């Protein structure tokens, strides 16, 4: 935040006439901009459609209150056209800043565009500045060369510490510095107002001196992130080793990169270990890509945010671009965190630019630029099933640290997957995992899970007093199931051929026994005919 207003100070000194600040925190930005104005000896004014034009004066030393003077003369009322005309005819030589709230609503009028173009010329030579405040970026092309855009970030740790200290001082509460840092970390990603309310709620519920206050603040943050409609906050408890069978190469890579977050690794090197940027998990559907994304957050003890690309797009012009920027800003404010984009190829189909006016392409470009240039500790996990729909810009080095190909589980991995799901349902009498792995060749992890579920039903139907299933129940569940790898063998083999030279295998010890060499005779007749009708 301080860097943002340092830039604004330099722009004011350089006589930038029109500035456009994108933020939803009107009160905080007004206070900071007013403080900047007074320190630089500017007169500060604000305008909104309810109060009209107001002039702010410095705090009185006697009672420390801000004085605000409302203007009632002609041209200085709630009418925005009248206000723009008033600005053009100011005769004084004062250094002045005028702040206008929600002015994006009036950009559709040609008269407004002309007024602003004229002001950009007039103010440049009068040491006056017009600052437009809006919750999102919406600027007509006619004004692009006249207005400077500034994206105002959410409060950082320094801003939140000031807010927390004010509350602690006001209620005469003392807490140790370590707990204070934890509370501040829990509030990252909130606006100043939201953080203030979260701190106060924690104070009422548990007391800020209690470690439980962190949980209260985190719960408030979850609700606020969910209400935005752009990011989903996931509570994760999956264990990478206990929940995911196989994928040893990927697990080893993740555990190695986990070291970058250790405090000791940041201290002993002159330059800290580079934090990982992200991975693309490409592979066969049902083989654990989404589950792995959840386990990464659990392994690294970081919050998991899921970005639903479908929620980004809206009909109003400029809203989609604003939404993706807001989602990225929220993720960066919560950092360190894991940001998960599931089935990224479906949400970023850039081939339809003519139909959507290029919105999809602009959203995709924003994501690509952020992936390349991001400096905050946001680890991106993207999953994809169809490589043909992914643009080459996404796959080149520098976007992701690594591209992992998640293939069908090997014989050993199928044994582990059966063991994981059987133990999950309390089935401890099965021991012949080797036989089950042999019977489930070409099955993916999701299909193995469904086999176990089906066996549970079969066992209950056979004997509703027995809580344990047997090998025969699992055999009966496996027998009618035609795996996706056989019905979609052409597409999956094509994907494997691509990944063999362009991606890193997530599993180790892949061998020929897992190559799909399916003939039509391998599939029961009725199902074979049904599959032929589909493809």
Closest by Cα among 124, 74, 81 to 103: 81
Give pLDDT, residue 42. 95
Query: Of 334 and 232, which is predicted with more confidence?
Result: 232
> Range(s) for CATH 3.40.50.300 in the chain?
2-151, 240-406
Give pLDDT, residue 68. 61
Q: Which residues contact 333 (CB under 8 A, 6 or more apart)?
A: 153, 154, 155, 156, 188, 189, 190
Query: Is this prediction's pTM over 0.75?
Result: no
DSSP strand pairing (43-48 vs 96-101): parallel
| Block residue for tokens 């799901």 | 421
Q: Which residues contact 374 (CB under 8 A, 6 or more apart)?
A: 277, 332
Res. 18 pLDDT band, cuts 50 70 90: very high
Res. 63 pLDDT band, cuts 50 70 90: very low
Size of the chain, expressed as the number of residues it contains: 535
Query: Of 255 and 3, which is predicted with more confidence?
Result: 255
Q: Is pLDDT above 60 for 314?
A: yes
How high does pLDDT run on average in the chain? 83
Rounded to the nearest angstrom, the gap between the alpha carbon of residue 490 and the centroid of all alpha carbons in its chain is 35
Q: Is pLDDT above 60 for 350?
A: no
| 155/199 Cα distance (integer angstroms) | 14
Query: Of 358 and 505, which is predicted with more confidence?
Result: 505
Cβ(117)–Cβ(149) under 8 Å?
Answer: no
Per-residue model confidence as pLDDT tens digits over 96-148? 999 999 988 888 888 999 999 999 999 988 899 999 999 888 888 899 899 99
CATH architecture of 2-151: 3-Layer(aba) Sandwich (3.40)
Give pLDDT, residue 263. 66
Q: Is pLDDT above 50 for 95?
A: yes
Give pLDDT, residue 522. 42
Mean pLDDT over 432-461 rounds to: 91
| 245/182 Cα distance (integer angstroms) | 34
How far are the Cα atoms of 105, 249, 273, 427, 436 from residue 468, in angstroms, in the given order? 65, 34, 49, 6, 16
| 50/100 Cα distance (integer angstroms) | 12
Residue 506 φ then ψ, to 5° = -75, -25
Cβ(258)–Cβ(300) under 8 Å?
Answer: yes
How is domain 240-406 classified at the CATH fold level?
Rossmann fold (3.40.50)
Percent of the chain residues past pLDDT 70, beyond the cut: 87
Percent of the chain residues past pLDDT 90, beyond the cut: 31
Cβ(233)–Cβ(337) under 8 Å?
Answer: no
Give pLDDT, residue 299. 87
| 293/339 Cα distance (integer angstroms) | 9
| Tokens found for residue 205 | 């519920």
> Range(s) for CATH 1.10.8.60 in the chain?
411-482
Q: Is pLDDT above 80 for 276?
A: yes
Query: Of 227 and 45, which is predicted with more confidence?
Result: 45
Cβ(186)–Cβ(221) under 8 Å?
Answer: yes
Question: What is the helix (H) or strand (E) element at residue 426, kind and residue range?
Answer: none
Per-residue model confidence as pLDDT tens digits over 279-302? 999 988 888 898 998 899 888 888
Query: Of 508 and 99, which is predicted with more confidence?
Result: 99
User: Which DSSP string corresponds to 269-294?
Assistant: SSSPPPPP-EEEEEE-TTSSHHHHHH
How is domain 411-482 classified at the CATH fold level?
Helicase, Ruva Protein; domain 3 (1.10.8)
Rounded to the nearest angstrom, the gap between the alpha carbon of residue 526 and the centroid of all alpha carbons in its chain is 45
Cβ(421)–Cβ(445) under 8 Å?
Answer: no
User: Which DSSP string corresponds to 100-147?
Assistant: EESGGGGTT-HHHHHHHHHHHHHGGGTTEEEEEEESS----GGGTTT-
Res. 525 pLDDT band, cuts 50 70 90: very low
Give pLDDT, residue 315. 61
Give pLDDT, residue 357. 61
Mean pLDDT over 258-265 rounds to: 76
Mean pLDDT over 210-233 rounds to: 80
Q: Is pLDDT above 80 for 179?
A: yes
Give pLDDT, residue 211. 79
């Amino acid at each position: 935040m301080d860097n943002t207003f340092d830039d604004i100070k330099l722009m004011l000194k350089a006589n930038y006439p029109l500035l456009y600040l994108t933020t939803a925190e009107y009160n905080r930005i007004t206070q900071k901009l007013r403080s900047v104005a007074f320190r630089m000896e500017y007169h500060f004014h604000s305008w909104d459609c309810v109060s009209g034009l107001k002039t702010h004066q410095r705090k009185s030393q006697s009672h420390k209150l801000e004085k605000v003077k409302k203007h009632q003369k002609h041209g200085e009322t709630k009418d925005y056209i009248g206000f723009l005309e008033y600005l053009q005819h100011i005769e004084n030589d004062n250094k002045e800043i005028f702040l206008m709230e929600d002015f994006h609503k009036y950009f559709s009028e040609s008269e407004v565009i002309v007024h602003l173009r004229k002001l950009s010329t007039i103010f440049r030579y009068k040491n006056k500045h017009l600052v437009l405040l809006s919750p999102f970026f919406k600027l007509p092309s006619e004004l692009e060369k006249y207005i400077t855009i500034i994206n105002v970030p959410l409060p950082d740790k320094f801003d939140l510490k000031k807010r927390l200290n004010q509350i602690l001082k006001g209620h005469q509460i003392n807490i140790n510095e370590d707990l204070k840092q934890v509370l501040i970390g829990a509030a990252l990603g909130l606006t100043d107002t939201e953080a203030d309310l979260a701190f106060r709620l924690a104070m009422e519920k548990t007391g800020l001196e209690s470690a439980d206050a962190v949980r209260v603040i985190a719960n408030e943050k979850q609700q606020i992130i969910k209400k935005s409609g752009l990011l989903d906050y996931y509570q994760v408890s999956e264990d990478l080793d206990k929940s995911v069978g196989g994928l040893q190469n990927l697990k080893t890579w993740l555990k190695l990169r986990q070291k970058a977050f250790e405090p000791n690794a940041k201290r002993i090197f002159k330059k800290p270990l580079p934090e990982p940027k992200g991975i693309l998990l490409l592979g066969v559907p049902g083989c654990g890509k989404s589950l792995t994304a959840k386990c990464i957050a659990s392994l690294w003890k970081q919050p998991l945010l899921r970005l639903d690309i479908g929620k980004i797009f809206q009909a109003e012009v400029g809203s989609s671009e604003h939404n993706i920027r807001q989602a990225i800003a929220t993720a960066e404010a919560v950092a360190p965190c894991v940001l998960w984009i599931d089935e990224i190829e479906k949400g970023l189909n850039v081939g339809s630019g003519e139909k959507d006016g290029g919105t999809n392409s602009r959203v995709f470009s924003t994501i690509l630029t952020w992936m390349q240039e991001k400096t905050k500790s946001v680890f991106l996990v993207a999953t994809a099933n169809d490589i043909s729909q992914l643009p080459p810009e996404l796959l080149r080095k520098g976007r992701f640290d690594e591209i992992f190909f998640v293939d069908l589980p090997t014989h050993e991995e199928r044994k582990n997957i059966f063991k994981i799901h059987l133990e999950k349902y309390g089935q401890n009498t099965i021991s012949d995992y080797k036989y089950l792995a042999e019977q489930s060749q070409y099955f993916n992890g999701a299909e193995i899970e469904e086999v176990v579920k089906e066996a549970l039903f079969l066992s209950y139907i056979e004997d509703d007093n027995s809580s344990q299933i047997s090998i025969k129940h699992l055999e009966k569940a496996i027998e009618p199931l035609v795996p996706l790898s056989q019905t979609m063998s052409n597409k999956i083999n094509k994907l494997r051929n691509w990944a063999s030279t362009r991606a890193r295998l997530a599993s180790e010890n892949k061998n020929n026994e897992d190559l799909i060499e399916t003939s039509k005779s391998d599939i029961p007749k009725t199902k074979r005919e049904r599959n032929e009708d589909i493809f």
